[in-house]
Amino acid sequence: MSQTTRKRELGRGERVLPGVWRLRLPLPWPGVPHGNAWALAAGDGIVLVDTGIHEPGSMDQLVRALDQVNLKLEHIKLLVCTHAHSDHYGQAASIVDATGCELWMHPNYEEMLKHADDPEAAVSRRIEIALQSGVPEAPLRAFMEQRKNDNPGIARVIAPDRPLLPGVEVETDLGTWSVHETPGHAPNHVCLYQPDHRLLISGDHLLGRVSLYFDVGYTPDPAGEFLHSLDVVEGLDARLCLAGHGRTFSDLQAHIEANRALVHERLDKALEVVREKGPIAPFDAAPGVYGDAIRHIPPYWWTTKMIAYMRHLEVTGRVRNVSEPGEPDKFELA
């Protein structure tokens, strides 16, 4: 086995249903070794859903995965992105440049991609959010200094040719896919549903393994929006889920319930911490919510999640923010 294959996965393609291929594309992230793009047969070409991240060699991985299922870049007639995170949208510009295809994506991407072409501004925004949630300044700045040269994963920000909103239909050989807004994980997240085959392309909204993440700072209540988006997907009655990471899975109802239960468990714990220790900053409340597990989760993840939980408790009238202007947020029982 060569150095590269041991270190990193390679792009792989596999047919999961007639006219549906899973393209498994490598990611440079610890604990998340790959993400999925989905190729859907459509006449003499394909609709590609999601793109993989942009990094040196990433287009070769996509080409490799397509080649394994006898497809080529030139077959891509339409590119659809479930949301604007780098692992789902990062190669959009490169794919559009190479094929001339259209890009369809939900329009609530502008705020979240405002800093994608400007890593320094992106770092500043993260620092601002972290300080506001009570992260101590010195270790935060040291951490951000280390990460400031990280690959942002997006080739170039390009606008969609068509806003991917409810009512838009994606035509494929399997039938028509409808668009369902599912914000929470990201403000512009959508799922695609094919009712005849009861197939759901779920992006990162629903994964085979419960893994919560909320983009904070763009919408009023990301955790609440995520809970509502679970209801939306539950109402579709899908039979098979084609998720943004990992294998397909069929027991959607159990997955929806597990996600919902975990959000409520975190919210209940956060409320308990506020009751016992408030007024308290989201960052300081995290150990009480996550316990020992906190040592195994990157701080950026649990900080943003804690902000989302406190915000949801605030929006639903259970806690209130009592911080002075210019101070980190602090919450006590309402």
Q: Least distance to Zn ion from the beta carbon of 288, Å?
A: 27
Helix axes 119-132, 299-315, angle to 10 degrees: 60
Distance CA(1)–CA(10), nearest Å, equals: 12
Shortest distance (Å) from residue 213 CB to Zn ion: 7
- Residue 249 per-residue DSSP state: B
38 vs 331, which CB is nearer to Zn ion? 38
Nearer to Zn ion, 85 or 266 (CB): 85
Q: Which residues pair with 266 in a beta bridge?
A: none
Greatest alpha-carbon span in the chain: 62
Distance CA 313, CA 320 (A): 8
Q: Closer to Zn ion at the Cβ: 68 or 211?
A: 211
Cis amide linkage into residue 325, ω under 30° from 0: no
Minimum distance from residue 222 beta carbon to Zn ion (Å): 12
Residues 175 and 214 sit within 8 Å (Cβ to Cβ): no
| CA distance linking residue 212 with residue 208, whole number of Å | 12
Q: Measured from the CB atom, is 87 or 225 closer to Zn ion?
A: 87
Between 204 and 225, CB nearer to Zn ion:
204
Query: Which residues in this chain contact Zn ion in the complex, by CB under 5 A?
Result: 85, 87, 204, 244
Q: Which contacts (CB < 8 Å, 24+ apart) does range 310-318 have? A: 310/270, 310/274, 310/282, 310/285, 311/216, 311/220, 311/221, 311/222, 311/223, 312/221, 312/222, 312/223, 312/224, 312/267, 313/267, 313/270, 313/271, 313/274, 315/220, 315/221, 315/224, 316/224, 318/271
Q: Which is nearer to Zn ion, 87 or 329 (CB)?
A: 87
Nearest distance from C-beta of residue 140 to Zn ion, angstroms: 23
Residue 82 C-beta: closest distance to Zn ion, Å: 8
**Distance of closest approach, residue 297 Cβ to Zn ion, in angstroms:** 16
Reduce the DSSP state of residue 135 to 3 states and report it: coil
Cβ closest to Zn ion, residue 85 vs residue 126: 85
Least separation, in Å, of the C-beta of 45 and Zn ion? Answer: 25
